[in-house]
Amino acid sequence: MNEKKKNNFRSAYLITKPLQYVNATNIPDERPKDCLIIKSFAGAETFVRNVSAYSIHWDKVFSFESRSEAFEFIVLNKNKYNRIFLDSDIGLFYHLSQFSGIDIFTYEEGIGSYRKIRDTTKLIEKLKAVIWSILGFNNWIGGNKFTKGIYLYNPAVFRQLIPNEKKPVYKLNNSFHSSALHLKELSYLHENIDFGRYKNENLLVYLSSWEISESILSKLESFPTHIKILKPHPNTLTKTRLTSHFDEVITSAIPVEIFLIKVSKYCNQLVIVHENSSALLYLNDVQYLEVNISTLKFKEEYRKIRELILNDTVVLPRKLVV
């Protein structure tokens, strides 16, 4: 293939939520770039309109109802792309096998980008991981045999936790914090919120998992003078009786990372209650009190990964409450 033709090729970026959008815009890539948005999150239609109208990062913006639909689009336009960037390559054996001649990369998705997918302390899971490895699909995001490299905020942490990965692990350009608030196409998510009303207030923000945990009730009682704010999971949470225990419920359309960064500049004290939330990876310049109410075994692994990432970055002091 001659160099002139190769230089005409483009990069395709698959985006399934606003957090990934911020991370994708931090990938160093001088090629023409197309943004392929999967409309699987709250407020997706508005998100697509704003990215299309205001982003200077992309040459073209496309939207799809599903990941499979986006993959079909890439297959049909295979002659136009020489690089694809995905949030994950897990379970995509068939799809990625169709992209011969295209370099595939994964980029940071959150806490899952720094851990093994299957718990190999369990015999059945270890056997599955061994079978995956024999087939060429290792037990972590970026471990697919079709994947050429990985883009992360903390490559050194990934290397420490997953030393067997031999592919290149590249560092993203800027911090999440410095990018999230300066992307014009995302400003609509927070510009109409009156953050000034939280000035000098004590806040408790609960980042729910797929359902509101009963355990949150005792934590709410532990902070009687705080304004109680629920940030629901963006996709599957339905309103329950527990919602009434909060003073406010903020829209699931806004990435919680952006909300927390903004509100922290006004409030007196910020308490974040969560269940192994990836959002806390991106709050390096935010001071807060953390309460993790998760009961999952993964909680200890989560804490280890968090500590490694925090030690890999300049951060403000914080206190952990179990």
> pLDDT (tens digit, 9 = 90+) per residue, 184-214?
999 998 888 899 999 999 999 999 887 888 8
Output the pLDDT for position 1.
43
207 close to 277: Cβ distance less than 8 angstroms: yes
What is the pLDDT of the chain when averaged over all its residues? 87
Q: Write the DSSP assignment of 118-141 as a string of letters.
A: S-TTSHHHHHHHHHHHHHTB-SBT
State the DSSP code for 31: S
Output the pLDDT for position 305.
94
The predicted model gives 10-36 an average pLDDT of: 94
Output the pLDDT for position 162.
94
> pLDDT (tens digit, 9 = 90+) per residue, 148-183?
999 999 999 999 999 999 999 999 998 888 888 889
Which amino acid, one-letter code, is at 4?
A: K
Output the pLDDT for position 45.
94
The predicted model gives 235-250 an average pLDDT of: 76
Output the pLDDT for position 248.
92
Q: What is the pTM of this model?
A: 0.88
What is the percent of the chain with per-residue pLDDT over 70, rounded to a whole number? Answer: 92
d(CA 61, CA 12): 10
Output the pLDDT for position 8.
57
CB atoms inside a 10 Å sphere around CB 33: 20
289: tokens are: 């009190």
Output the pLDDT for position 263.
94
81 close to 100: Cβ distance less than 8 angstroms: no
> pLDDT (tens digit, 9 = 90+) per residue, 31-83?
999 999 999 888 899 999 999 999 999 999 999 999 999 999 999 998 999 99
* Residue 319 in this model has a pLDDT that exceeds 50: no
> pLDDT (tens digit, 9 = 90+) per residue, 73-110?
999 998 999 999 999 998 887 888 899 889 999 999 99
Closest CA to 196 of 100, 91, 266, 262: 266
Output the pLDDT for position 39.
94
> pLDDT (tens digit, 9 = 90+) per residue, 118-148?
776 777 877 877 777 777 788 899 999 999 9
